[in-house]
Structure 1
Amino acid sequence: MKGNWLLPEQLADILPAEARRIEELRRVMLDLYRTYGYELVAPPLVEYIDSLLSGAGTDLNLRTCKLVDQASGRTLGVRADMTPQVARIDAHLLNRSGVGRFCYCGSVFHARPVGLLDRRELLQLGAEIYGHAGLEADLEILRLVMESMRLANVGTMRLDLSHPGVVGAILATDPGAAAQADEIHRLLSEKNVPALLALAGQGDAPRNETLAALRTLAMLYGTPADVLAEARQTLPPLLGIARALDDLQALVQALPDIDISLDLADVGGYGYYSGVMFSLYAEGWHDALVRGGRYDNIGAAFGRARPATGFSFDLRKVAAGLPPARRSGAISAPWSEDPALALRMQELRRQGEIVIQLLPGHVHDQEEFFFDRELVRQDGAWVLRQL
């Protein structure tokens, strides 16, 4: 039995004060989304692997734990991301013709962590819009992201935008480059220009003009005005590039009060996203706090490839970067079988007060509360006294 209290690597208990703060954040976030018209959905933690991974790419497959269903013999997956499940609900169960707005919050589990400092169990909270292909939906999602983080009292923030359509347009003109798309996207994400140029000597290699465009693309990051101007001047005059740059420019102009940067080589998840991608960074967190973007093809596996855009984040990660949770003031009540005391405690609790009755023979020891008042018997009645 030695060590049976230990948890597996990169899993952790959430203790009382922190658990309360996470729960309070969950409530205010979902209440915020409701004011925007988002409907809450709650898909199951486990489902058939074919459905769980539909349209989600290889990264999600590697992060998903698999097991055999004893009832059917089929392979099940423990969800590592809730977006495919929401896409299934929109496409198959609700089957609406108009715009659908959905939000969710639930645990997800990763077979392997995304980063060295990341946990494997996340409390994923997100919001998604289905059925509208225009930038209006992307803009609503971005505004909701910023409002969510402000509600959580996250401080200095920066929004990074990108668009897979830029590199996609370049690769589409060159069969040699398209054949090495996975490697090219990886090297662009790492901004590994020497390795990109070294592709020239490998088999069915990309053309020299393609490699030149990719080298330029790797350096296109920074303030929106500078990046967009340089991209329009130096990248090939392709329709796909022009459309992607127009989308980015429109969103930047619509969000003048937000600190925005562009990184046209940030192409992680290129097989998943179909339009504008974004990451939100904030002071105090080592990695992106929120990720999202447009993923119009995710519903195709369920028979309806509806336009879709959204975001998600780990609520535990947000809470962990905030100042320590404050303890709440509470009322101390002695142990007594006096019916009048029971009624008084019930009255106070219905008013939203925290009333803790001390059990006989024990000193009350707690992390989440401190006593600032007490109930005492005075002139035949139970009254509050400040401590």
Structure 2
Amino acid sequence: MDLKKILRTNIQNLVPYSSARDEFQGEASVFLDANENSFGSPLATAYNRYPDPLQLAVKKKISEIKGVPPQNIFLGNGSDEAIDILIRAFCRPGIDNIILLPPTYGMYEVSANINDVAVKKVPLTAGYQLNLEGIAEAIDENTKLIFICSPNNPTANSIYREDIETVLANFPGLVIIDEAYINYSRQKTFIRELTEYNNLVILQTLSKAWGLAGLRVGMAFASEEIIEVFNKVKPPYNINEASQQLALNALQNVDQVNEWIRETVAERDRLGTALLDLHCVREIFPSDANFLLVKTTDAKGIYQFLVERGIIVRDRSNVILCEDSLRITIGTPNENTLLLGALKSFPH
């Protein structure tokens, strides 16, 4: 893949904003370069100074955990920022298109619509796998990006690895693999394939297994060339200092996160088995995520029934291939027991 052939010309020629923190590197004791409040802030922590625009300390720690050099990492305000930058940087409004594989994560389409980029949809098969022939037919000279969510949201299953490799090997644009739920999966991450495919972008997040949804820290892994595009387009201080420091602290606790993952997977198995015994449940789809997609006898009725009892799940009935299905996040053992107790009393 020749990146210049798919990158928008104005982005290639873009001179990025240079912040005060970009222009100085090293040690100093007096900072009079960024028009900050030199007297401090009302908070105990020194938030009067701008954060590191490239989040190097956080990237170094992520590098140690993921086995990826820091220069191959981009950090965004959630994965949504990375999605938006990819579409803005590589797709010409009103000309180019992206391919989506519904049912899938909704922000791909929202970002495309915001940027006036056409969306081509190739639905997954009945087994929630890639329709390779359909994808090949949908690709044209203006197709720049293909988004593959694996494990997929809302179906919870992983996409066959060999099918993803087929797309990577044959598509001349970027293939984005969204691995938000990879920590719960039996399938390995595609991070090890970064050196093999220069058109590969992997999205991950600290929102799920790491339990940091409130901080909004998403990760993208790609070639240095693609990461440079991210850094060109992003706002100078897209990850605030509080999020950087809290993320850095959390990343020291790998053992705790791994324990939560084990507990979640165990509860996923327990909840899935118990749900199958209920009269209102027709099918539990295989899950590699921290949620289950559950086909029911009456999704809308069950959803409202649970709301009235203070239990909130997600009704996915209006999504293609998910008719009468609820998406249920794996809760704590107590929360899952409360859910099961409520569903047992759902009337026939």
Shorter-chain TM range is: under 0.3
The structure with more radius of gyration: 1
TM-score of the superposed pair, with normalisation by structure 2: 0.26
> Higher strand fraction: Structure 1 or Structure 2?
1
